[in-house]
Structure 1
Amino acid sequence: MRPALLLLCAAATALGSADNRTGKLPPPTNLTIVLKNDCCVQLKWSPPDGLDTNTCKVKYVVEGKQRYRSFYTSYEECFDITGGFEYKVSTVPDENSDCQSWDDSDWIRGYLPKASDHLASVKDFECFMYEKEHINCTWLPENNQIISLYYWRNVSNVQSCKTYIDKDNVKRGCHLNRNFTANLQTFFVLVNGTLDSNPVRVMCLEVIPVNIVRVPSPQIRIKEKDETLLIEWESPKSFKADCWSYNLQYKYSQSNKWLENAVGPVTHTSIPYDQRYKYTVKLKAIYKADCGEGGSEWSKEEHYGNEESTDWSMHIALISIPLLVTAAAITLLIYLKRLRVLILPDIPDPSAIFKVVAKSDGRFMPMPFQTWATSKEKEYDLFEPKDEDVSQLVVEQVPECAQDK
């Protein structure tokens, strides 16, 4: 009986243990949110109550600006927090834990209130890397606010701008310290200041240097070689040459259409050349996606060659010859019609005169030949001679002898 009782107790214990290791994990506790500065937040929390973390290993999932998963009970991130934000943290089982079949816990929530400081704004704020480890941030100020810029890679080591870029005694940018930017993968920038003696908070953002590359435009050189133009330029300074590709565009004087020529990491290419035309060439650099993002603006347009003066005689001939031929053809057709009448006149119809006689009550009246020849079954007043009075003159001759008597 005793062995059987012990076995039953062991089975009951095992069953009870299995029941305790199923279901939903308890959530973390004591969530707090602390502002490290004007744009960095630190979250802290405690492990779940009543959970033996020695046998049931867990992780924590944080949903903030980004989703974060870790064993640690704290989390930091930096972003523009002026509009307020909500954080959520939950407990999830570790894949190698005894409680890996348990469900995730409910969320615990923490709220970051909206900033109460006056907000200001700047236009066209941007940071860009113009050479390796050389970074500038620029902006256009609005109103009369006094701007200050801070940057850091670790919130425990915030640096203020030492080298401002001024124009008309107004801050329009900052040149970051090269000691800070060396081997830099990501950093944060905070812009704030005062406006009418009131604190203002402008913006906070994360910057990844390799994604903000903006180098000066290439300077191109053009040489004539055989029937081509050889175009050369230099790769941007301090960057790896194989991280660049180039887009070349060119056109010649008789066309307004730009022709494109994509070029790999090499710094030269060639295009066909016709000495009759003047060529225009421009180039821009593109930072390859596998290295980062960015590039340059279009270079200054370079010109090569001289356009030959246009020979308008050929154009005039091409226009005038068809016009002259057309005019000659029209004139010829008009004269041919007249010549046809002279060379091949219409043959008169002999029966026309008899038709006219038949219409004249059977009287035959002579008709002029020309009238008859040109008549076409029309009635004509035929020639009819008029009656004439005939007078006789009698001349009587008297003998001379009779006159003597």
Structure 2
Amino acid sequence: MERPAGLCGLWALLLCAGGGAAPNEILPPVTNLSVSVENLCTIIWTWNSPEGVRPNCSLWYYSYFGNHQDKKITLDSRRLEEVPLNEDICLHVISQCGTNESEKTLKGEKKCISPPEGDPRSAVTDLRCIWFNLTTMKCSWLPGNTTRANTTYLLYYWHKYLTTPLQCENSYREGHRLGCSFNLTDSRLRHSSIQVMVKDNGGKIRPSFSVVALSSHVVPAHPDIIHLSFKNSNLLVEWKKPGDFLCECLSSQLEVNNSHLSSTLYTTEETKCQNPEKRSQFKITTDLDTSTTVRIRVRTNKYCYEDSNLWSEWSEKGSLGQKTNSTFYITILLIIPVLVAFAIIVLLFYLKRLKIIIFPPIPDPGKIFKEMFGDQNDDTLHWRKYDIYDKQTKEETDSVVLIENLKRGSQ
């Protein structure tokens, strides 16, 4: 077979050793290798086939990141990855005839992409996102080392069912951590990922990125205990699973406290629902003569999600047994004295009124007569004095008039 023209030196030895096309031979480098970013963390590398490839070569592309990580062999001259753009990311591409991952002596073409500009110390740290009960995504972080205390942060998120990134509006603070939460109820995302970016509103800090695999960051809500009973010397615990989880997707842990024994933990892996209402049951051998309290928490398991050990909160305690809870006695002892004191006060008040009704006060006769006659005598004397005075005044006036008339007649 005739060797291809235009090749010499090392390339000629690689391509034409043995006088023909060797399988998995390393070809010249790919051309026009470029990189671009879409959405928040979607990085796309594209390239063209190398020059001088023989017609009978089955052209494949071997690509990998630094230290031969995430290796792929594909016919497509394009590679798309969701990668947090927090550091330099470089992709190596090698073209070859065949799919065998033979030992490579050449690095091929390399194209890198750098994170956004800015001081790395200003970017937020410890960015975490948790999908709570398949309904709410909660992302939190710590401020950067060189960030001012009054910095206003913005969080953007994107997943494959969104056309453009959206901004999170529900910001919150938990201790030293800042965060933002948003609704995420699309069931199609259960085995997908979501891209997150946190930056400030003034462009003074370096953006921080994260790609969250939802299958490994799920925390269920706590379950609800709906029934406790003794049956055949066993304690039967029945609870209702949280949210829209399938029974086989959850692992449960029960904490049983017995008055005669220390607290005991029981873990169960559920593979199917035990009844049409999707309730779960568990039997525990315990002493019937003692009081028993039970609480439950759950987590996702390996059957549906990656086991991340993210437990839910504990449920409210359920109790069952012949021994009454000591809290009840304490409450009664505190309430009884209060009720007795209140009853005594009310009784004293009504006894005082009852005494007035049964033994009314005796009136003073002297006061009654004084009121009846004393005022009338005073009024009578007053009018009597007034009449005598008027009579004397008239008589004296008449006498004066008579004397004057007599004097005038004598003259």
Coarse TM-score class (shorter-chain normalised)? 0.5 to 0.7
Same amino acid, percent of matched pairs: 17
Q: Deviations over 1:108-162 (max 9, x none)?
A: 222333542233215562221413xx24122155333322222333499332135
Taking structure 1 as reference, are residues 102 and 124 closer, same or farther at Cα in structure 2, changes over 3 Å only?
closer
Check whether the contact 1:93–1:102 (CA below 8 A) recurs between aligned residues.
no
1:113-192 mapped onto 2 (5 Å cutoff): 113-118=114-119, 119-123=122-126, 125-131=128-134, 134-140=135-141, 142=143, 143-154=149-160, 157-161=163-167, 163-166=169-172, 172-178=179-185, 182-183=188-189, 185-192=191-198
**Is contact 1:59–1:93 with CA below 8 Å preserved after alignment?**
yes
Instruction: Find the residue that maps to 1:127 and give its secondary structure.
Output: strand
- Supply the AA of the counterpart residue of 1:186: S
Aligned residue number for residue 303 of structure 1: 319
> What SS does the corresponding residue of 1:210 show, helix, strand or coil?
helix
The residue number in structure 2 matching 1:21 is 21
- Structure 2 match to 1:70: 74
2:62 corresponds to which letter in structure 1?
A: V
Structure 1 length-normalised TM? 0.60
**Partner residue of 1:269?**
282
**Deviation, structure 1 residue 234:** 0.6
- Partners of 1:72 and 1:139 in 2: CA distance: 38
Counterpart in the other structure of 1:218: 223
**Larger Rg over CA atoms:** 1
Shift of residue 21, structure 1, vs aligned partner: 1.8
Matches within 5 A, 1:5-404: 19-22=19-22, 24-36=26-38, 39-52=41-54, 54-64=55-65, 66-95=70-99, 106-107=106-107, 108-118=109-119, 119-123=122-126, 125-131=128-134, 134-140=135-141, 142=143, 143-154=149-160, 157-161=163-167, 163-166=169-172, 172-178=179-185, 182-183=188-189, 185-194=191-200, 197-226=202-231, 227-260=233-266, 262=268, 264=270, 265=272, 266=274, 267-293=280-306, 296-305=312-321, 307=323
* Superimposed CA distance per residue, residues 70-98 of structure 1 (whole angstroms, 9 cap, x where no aligned partner): 11222222222222122211112235xxx
Distance 1:32 1:24 in 2: 21
Q: For residue 97 of structure 2, what is the amino acid of its counterpart?
A: P
- Please report how far the alpha carbon of residue 298 of structure 1 lies from its aligned counterpart in structure 2 after TM superposition: 3.1
User: 1:284 touches 1:296 (CA, 8 Å); kept in 2?
Assistant: yes
Whether contact under 8 Å (1:45, 1:73) holds in the other structure is yes
Going from structure 1 to structure 2, the CA distance change for 1:145 and 1:127 (only over 3 Å counts) comes to: farther
- Structure 2 runs not aligned, ≥5 long: 5-15, 144-148, 275-279, 326-411
Unaligned runs of 5+ in 1: 1-10, 310-405
| Residue pair 2:60, 2:98 contacting (<8 A) in 1 also | yes
1:261 positional shift: 5.3
8 Å CA contact 1:33–1:110 kept in 2: the answer is yes
Matched length: 289
Q: Runs of 4+ in structure 1 displaced over 6 angstroms?
A: 11-14, 100-103
Shifted more, 256-265 versus 71-80: the winner is 256-265
Tell me how far apart the structure 2 counterparts of residues 149 and 304 of structure 1 sit (CA, whole Å). 47
Q: Which has the higher helix share?
A: 2
Aligned to 1:6: none
TM-score (norm 2): 0.59
Aligned mates of 1:138, 1:17 — CA distance in 2: 57
CA 1:262–1:41 in 2, change beyond 3 Å: closer, same or farther?
closer
